[in-house]
Structure 1
């Protein structure tokens, strides 16, 4: 596990383009750019196998993206642990993440790690699609991709 550096930024941009339908991410109507986030990269055998990015603002850490390229190896959990520990060392009040209503795996993942559902933003994806028109109407599990769901861990 290591913090991202300036040398990682081209990889992060390409990764976001490949995994997040563009070189920026939108949560709660706010745009997060690949070159304006902090983060950690998980490595195995010299290969990047996971990425978590975040923004710190107003006493909280928002996870802006998380991806594990290997499943059931603890990579996602290790990435979350890194940002939670970072938030604690910075005396932040909470860590939060946004997912979408269709992503049942993400809802399960965050809750199993102690995060609680705190807000639903109905039809938030309509505004996001204006910025990212390639986003599908139907998401994972055949569920209409429509709402954002906010989860938090109070520290």
Structure 2
């Protein structure tokens, strides 16, 4: 297993990115504005994390692991790497946004110490042209979670 930074002109891991965000035009919008890290197994990309950095806060805009590699710790390794990267940049907070229907993601982030700080009602029903269903639940509200640390 190796985590490495995506290099310009490298293959964009759409297969993984689309697992976390079904909107390809949105992915194309934020991908090139992000620090992108790939987790590879024998030179095969099995996961990706995209991080956008601002002055006092960074945001994970996409994190995903291919289905056949989920549950093996790759997502946790990507998240830990993202947290380390953001701390090195001297950012004070890291946020991530997900849907009310993303039960596994909500648990995943909270286990890593993230706390829910905001709910954006009807975000997914107004921002996406097609309904998104996960775990038998309609994605309606956006949940914003934040991890903060002391320097």
Which range, TM-score by smaller chain? Answer: 0.7 to 0.9
Alignment deviations for residues 59-78 of structure 1 (CA, whole Å, 9 cap, x no partner): 11100001012122211111
Mapped to 2, the partners of 1:152 and 1:25 lie a distance apart of 22
The within-5 A match list for 1:55-134 is 55-69=52-66, 70-129=69-128, 133=129
How many residue pairs get matched? 145
Mapped to 2, the partners of 1:101 and 1:52 lie a distance apart of 20
Mapped to 2, the partners of 1:87 and 1:97 lie a distance apart of 13
Give 5+ residue unaligned stretches, structure 1: none
Give 5+ residue unaligned stretches, structure 2: none
User: Structure 1-normalised TM-score?
Assistant: 0.84
Query: Does the CA contact (< 8 Å) of 1:43 and 1:49 recur in 2?
Result: yes
User: Structure 2-normalised TM-score?
Assistant: 0.86
> Which aligned segments of 4 or more residues in structure 1 are displaced greater than 3 angstroms?
12-19
Counterpart in 2 of 1:2? 4
Q: What is the RMSD computed on CA atoms of the aligned residues?
A: 2.1
Counterpart in 2 of 1:153? 147
1:15 Cα shift?
A: 4.7
